[in-house]
Amino acid sequence: MGQRAAIYCRVSTADQSCERQERDLATFADRAGYDVAAVFKETGSGAKLDRAERRKVMALAQARKIDAVLVTELSRWGRSTVDLLNTLRELEGWKVSVIAMNGMAFDLSSPHGRMLATLLSGIAEFERDLISERVKSGLAAAKARGKVLGRQTGERPKSDRLAPKVMALIAEGRSYRWIARDLSISKNTVADVVQRNRIDVKTPEEA
């Protein structure tokens, strides 16, 4: 029997799907020889404080029912440098590692693991601060120019941006479910795009 692993997937918004992450991580687990003990899927921003599914992963680790946590990238797991290091230390105490799909293993029992975790989490924190600073600066500049901030009535930035792709896939005969999974959006968003474009096309039956 191989090492036991929990798959942890997270997306930022409700119109995104964890299906692609789950599929990629399952393939990665199989290739690396892990037995998948459980799959956990979460919706919430990287800075979200309450992550019920992640708590379940930690509980499994504490109970010694898994040997590793598999994620697509480090940012899917840690909220901040402090949060990342705290959870890694807890997992270290239970002999559980966090493995990113790019092959990086964060095992704080080794000097290399400690250095790598600190370095990468520090970079992620720095990038988050830079993005936040740029957003605030941009909003302040726009407000100073008298621009009305926030989404205006009728605006759908993401679905409008993806509309050409959605309609092209509809024309190819793809199902709403297939399109939603491929573009990481909900089936309702796909249906909304089709309805707003008012193109009379026949699509496969939805399960």
**Of 44, 31, 114, 126, nearest to 70 (Cα)?**
31
Rounded to whole angstroms, the maximal C-alpha distance in the chain is 64
Confidence at residue 56, expressed as pLDDT on a 0 to 100 scale:
95
Reply yes or no on whether the pLDDT at 206 is more than 70.
no
Structure tokens given for 32: 């690396």
Give per-residue pLDDT as tens, 30-59.
998 999 999 999 987 656 556 889 999 999
Q: Which one of 12, 109, 110, 137 is the catalytic residue?
A: 12
| CATH assignment, 4-116 | 3.40.50.1390
pTM over 0.75? The answer is no
Question: Quick check: 9 pLDDT over 70?
Answer: yes
Q: Is 109 a catalytic residue?
A: no
Q: 110-138: per-residue pLDDT in tens?
A: 777 667 667 766 666 666 677 777 777 77
Domain-by-domain residue ranges, the chain? 4-116, 157-197
